[in-house]
Structure 1
Amino acid sequence: MNLLQKPILFPLNEKVRLIQYITGENSVLEHVELSIYDVEPGGEVSYHEADLESCLVVLSGKVTVAVSNGETYTDLGTRTSVFDKVPTHSVYIGKNRFYTITAETKARILIAASKTDHSLPDSLIKPEDVLLESRGSYQNRRYVQTILSDQDTVSDKLLVVEVYTEGGNFSSYPPHKHDKDHLPDESFLEETYYHEINPPQGFIFQRIYSDNRLLDQTMSCTNQDVVIVPKGYHPVGVPDGYTSYYLNIMAGPTKMWRFHDDPNHKWIKNRP
């Protein structure tokens, strides 16, 4: 099972470069799809998602998004880099929509998608709509920007979260999983991690493992890598001197985030 996807850096034309493209056809995932593009000014990326809801996140730069229902969103984007550490604009787009993203400046865009049976209205998610939160203590500190949570009604299935972790800290830690449909204690959610690192020559470590260790992979992840988490625990460790950014996409049968901590490491939460 290949859980680490390296950047493909595929030029679609002189103004659009595909960085990552993950679907149910080229991965083991059934609920989560992901694509990431670098777009030069004036470049366009067009989509028609018949059975998928989407969340477009403007990682950096500025874009315009035109949707087939007649809505156009202009001047979207607040960052020159994800490491500006400020919330950005995102657009939720319901199933069976045509939409076009046009770069106003050099831009990097991420499109998260999941299958859905429901047609929900499109929605602009403004920076002030993003939930800001600090989590953890000791060497387990991270800063979280939640774009789509399990508490909102914007999407049917999608959860989208940005996380910053400074060097010397662990994130998604203590190790937890959400791979059983056993509500209210645990929900089944697939997940992807899109990683960026500052400075970009750095690396982080991510381990994916199950209780029985039939799945147990530890990966050295570099800038623009994607890690696929179909199941299992999935902690992230960041070496000294580097800052980790990752964007999580989660989706499953039920839009509810209920996780189970690894019993061997749950004690870490109970430190004073």
Structure 2
Amino acid sequence: MMLVIRAQEQVGYREIVGEQNEGNLKLLRFGLLSLEPGKAYTHQSDDCETVLVLLQGGCTISVSGTSFEGLTRENVFKEKATAVYVPVGAEYTVVNTASGETEIAVCRTPATERFKPFVVKPEDVWSRPVGKDNFLREVHDIVVKNAEGRVGRIIVGETFNLPGNWSSYPPHKHDDYQSGIEACMEEVYHYRMAPEQGFGFQSIYTTDGSLDEVFRVKHKDSFMIPYGYHPVCAAAGYQLYYLWFMAGETDRTMIPNDDPAHSWVRQES
């Protein structure tokens, strides 16, 4: 099962996860928008709710007559995220207001209820350390609890691994709905490395061994997680970042379920 989509430089919009990937994911659509200075991009959200996450640069984003101006981010490692929520059935326009390239992650999932557009600024992002020792990482919630009642099903955040450290660890999954124990959600990762020539290792496996793969992931690669445990590790010397977003059909609740074979590391002193 080929779950990695390799990086590809492209000006304009590039669909990375879409209808061509429906054999793996049913609910998630993902792309990257790259705009040169002064350029604009207009699109219809159609039947998908959309979160536009600014990765670098500066822009104005207008959504059905509501304009969010002065949005900036040096890069994902230097500043917290800025994002804009676009409801279903809305037209949006992104204008690059920076002197260099502006890059935006476009996260989409089908939805039915229409909400109001809103902006998430860096001060609205909830950051926290998760784990300990060499599985300590920093997690940023962008559109999670702060968006309850303002979105349909989409959840978006970012994770930062220090060099050599693990995240999504102990290995967890969210593919078998059990109320209060485990959510059922698809997920997509999009990676960045610092320095850019770095890499990480992305694992995905199931208890029965029907899926058991490890991929070397690099700067601007993306990864689809239809099911299974999915820990990731940064190579020594390189910081690893990934944007993550997810959606499920049952409810909008983040409840990962640890692999019981490895959950003991949480208690180890």
Fold agreement, TM-score > 0.5: yes
**Cα distance, 1:144 vs structure 2:** 1.2
Which of these residues, 252, 255, 265, is aligned with residue 252 of structure 2?
Answer: 255
Which of these residues, 77, 86, 102, is aligned with residue 83 of structure 1?
Answer: 77
Superposition pairs of residues 213-224 of structure 1, within 5 angstroms = 213-224=209-220
Q: Distance in 2 between matches of 1:263 and 1:115?
A: 33
Which residue number in structure 2 is paired with residue 128 of structure 1? 123
Give the SS at the match of 2:123.
helix
Q: Is the contact between residue 81 and residue 142 of structure 2 (CA under 8 Å) also seen in structure 1? A: no
Which of these residues, 124, 138, 144, is aligned with residue 149 of structure 1?
Answer: 144
Which of these residues, 190, 207, 210, is aligned with residue 211 of structure 1?
Answer: 207
The answer to whether the aligner puts 1:3 opposite 2:3 as a matched pair is yes
What is the one-letter code of the residue matched to 2:96? Answer: A
**Cα distance, 1:60 vs structure 2:** 0.8
Question: Alignment length, in residue pairs?
Answer: 264
What is the one-letter code of the residue matched to 1:115? Answer: P
Superposition pairs of residues 1-272 of structure 1, within 5 angstroms = 1-11=1-11, 16=12, 18=14, 21-27=16-22, 28-68=24-64, 70-77=65-72, 79-84=73-78, 86-105=79-98, 106-150=101-145, 152-253=148-249, 254-272=251-269
Q: Distance in 1 between matches of 2:223 and 2:70?
A: 31
Q: Is the contact between residue 92 and residue 154 of structure 1 (CA under 8 Å) also seen in structure 2? A: no
In the superposition, the TM-score normalised over structure 2's length comes to: 0.94
Percentage identity across paired residues of the two chains:
31
Structure 1: gaps spanning 5 or more residues: none
**Cα distance, 1:247 vs structure 2:** 0.4
Q: Distance in 1 between matches of 2:46 and 2:235?
A: 42
Structure 2: gaps spanning 5 or more residues: none
- Mean Cα deviation higher: 150-159 or 174-183: 150-159
Q: Distance in 2 between matches of 1:259 and 1:124?
A: 27
